[in-house]
Amino acid sequence: MKRFIAIVTLIIFCAGLFLAFGLTNSNAASKKQVTITYVRGKDETQATNKILQEFMKKNPDIKVIFKENPSDTGQNHDQLVTVLSAGGSDIDVFDMDVIWPAEFAQAGYTLPLDRFIKRDKINLNDYIKGTIDAARFKGQMWAFPRFIDAGVLYYRKDIVPQNELPKTWDDLIKVAKKYKGKNGTKYGFLMQAKQYEGLVCDAIEYIASYGGRVVDESGNIVVYNQGTIDGLNMMRKVITSGIVPPNINTFTEVETHTAFINGLSVFARNWPYMWAMINSPQSKVKGKVGILPLPKGSKGSAACLGGWMVGINKFSKNPEASWRLLKFLVQKEGQKLMAIYNGNVPVYKPLFNDKDVIKANPLIGDKKFVEAILAAVPRPVSPIYPKISDVMQIELSNIVNGKKDVKTAVLDMDKKLKEVVKISK
């Protein structure tokens, strides 16, 4: 009997060791750390490291290696394409300019995100609509917005009374004419009208505010329409109304902000970055400037969308871990950390009422600024956007310089764009 009890005890002890060893190994296996690589342009604020540390603290089974590409957008683009076009898996998650998703999707570089979004019940209505639209191509989401940039209207609140703030483009012309020359100003309005990408951005705002379009959801060229013609006629009207500098066709963002912070204009169209310059010690208009949404056309106000997205490499060996990082970056916690430490404008709308975010960036608490941001519309979503932009720049410049009437320029634009699309297929 004693021998029997000893044998049973030994069996139970061995079974316990086996189970304990097995469970330990099972737990170790389940907690095996996955390593993924995240790439973005150079981050001067060092905020990315803080955001990634917070992610890894909450996701100890994922290690993120952070690599910086050049700050120059073109060089960043080319380095990404070099890796992705070769089917390389050295990159898992990467930031992309708002105009890249369609190009990268068409080339087969990025993983569609719809199944992840649906599975994890991400509410796309929590995000600024224009940024979601820019991430879509042929009905699918190929990236997710991270932060937004959009055109806004700056005005001299020490010059223009609140009851005369312009609501439409015609209002802008009228008010700018009335107050041009007041308090040391020389011009009524500044914009970007040099033949470059900035001119396309400005033109898109006029076009969209009159209901015009350049490309439809299927990638077809539809630029020859009444909305586009009406919008560009208004752009030409603004340029020829006497409220802009005579050399407006040389103005980029640099000329715009230089003139405005030196007190030379009543109004200016520019991006949100100019706010910090306006309130710097060197500014001659510090404390004298307000922000408005861009003026309305027949279909409302529209601001050209800028900013950055984040996507997943189609060839990533760890798509699930990559999605978890992407999801952290674009949901509340990651968006809040970015807004506070990076100073970027989040795309997650509930944060526009967050006290910590507003304290870090008071502009986000400005209702007029938020209204302007919410009106953002993307540039043409196309895998051949750089070629489309080149054609548009030429014809838009012809309008600016009076070399062609608007209808002729739009008709020529339509023909050239359709030829570009045909050749690219």
* CB contact set of 123 (below 8 Å; sequence gap of 6+): none
Q: Please give the biggest Cα pair distance in the chain.
A: 112
Residue 31 is predicted with a pLDDT of: 62
Q: Which of these, 376, 399, 379, lies nearest to 389 by C-alpha position? A: 379
Residue 12 is predicted with a pLDDT of: 53
Confidence check: pLDDT of 29 > 70: no
227-251 mean pLDDT: 98
103-126 mean pLDDT: 97
> In the block, which residue shows the tokens 């999707």?
105
Side chain identity at 388, as an amino acid letter?
A: I
55-84 mean pLDDT: 94
Label residue 350 by pLDDT band (50, 70, 90). very high
Q: Which residue has the higher pLDDT, 74 or 79?
A: 79
**Radius of gyration of the chain measured on its C-alpha atoms:** 26
SS3 122: coil
304: phi then psi, degrees, rounded to nearest 5? -70, 135
Residue 10 is predicted with a pLDDT of: 52
Residue 419: HSE in the Cβ half-sphere, 13 Å Cα cutoff: 8
Confidence check: pLDDT of 23 > 50: no
Residue 2 is predicted with a pLDDT of: 56
Domains within the chain, CATH numbers bracketed:
34-148+307-368 (3.40.190.10), 150-304+378-424 (3.40.190.10)
Confidence check: pLDDT of 8 > 50: no
308-314 mean pLDDT: 97
SS3 315: coil
179-204 mean pLDDT: 97
| Alpha-carbon distances, residue 394 vs 112, 124, 221, 252, 269 (angstroms) | 34, 36, 17, 16, 21
Label residue 217 by pLDDT band (50, 70, 90). confident
Label residue 4 by pLDDT band (50, 70, 90). low
Q: Which residue has the higher pLDDT, 13 or 152?
A: 152
Rounded to two decimals, what is the model's pTM?
A: 0.82
Label residue 25 by pLDDT band (50, 70, 90). very low
Residue 369 is predicted with a pLDDT of: 92
- The answer to whether the CB of 84 falls within 8 A of the CB of 142 is no
323-333 mean pLDDT: 98
Residue 127 is predicted with a pLDDT of: 97
Q: Which of these, 193, 121, 130, 111, lies nearest to 345 by C-alpha position? A: 130
Side chain identity at 292, as an amino acid letter?
A: L
277-297 mean pLDDT: 95
Confidence check: pLDDT of 194 > 50: yes
Residue 363 is predicted with a pLDDT of: 87
Confidence check: pLDDT of 351 > 70: yes
Question: For residue 20, how far is the Cα from the chain centroid?
Answer: 52
Task: Sort 3 into a burial class: Cβ within 10 Å, 0-12 / 13-18 / 19+.
Answer: exposed
Q: Name the pairing type of β-strands 187-190 and 289-292.
A: unpaired
Q: Which residue has the higher pLDDT, 214 or 30?
A: 214
161-186 mean pLDDT: 98
Confidence check: pLDDT of 403 > 50: yes
Label residue 73 by pLDDT band (50, 70, 90). confident
Return the percentage of the chain with pLDDT > 90, whole number: 83
Return the percentage of the chain with pLDDT > 70, whole number: 93
DSSP assignment letter at 331: S
For residue 325, give both structure tokens.
């990082």
Whole-angstrom Cα distance, residue 311 to residue 97? 10
Q: Which of these, 125, 142, 124, lies nearest to 134 by C-alpha position? A: 142
Confidence check: pLDDT of 17 > 70: no
Share the mean pLDDT of the chain. 92
Residue 294 is predicted with a pLDDT of: 97
Q: Name the pairing type of β-strands 289-292 and 62-69.
A: unpaired
Q: Which residue has the higher pLDDT, 24 or 177?
A: 177
Q: Which residue has the higher pLDDT, 28 or 264?
A: 264
Whole-angstrom Cα distance, residue 216 to residue 378? 12
284-295 mean pLDDT: 96
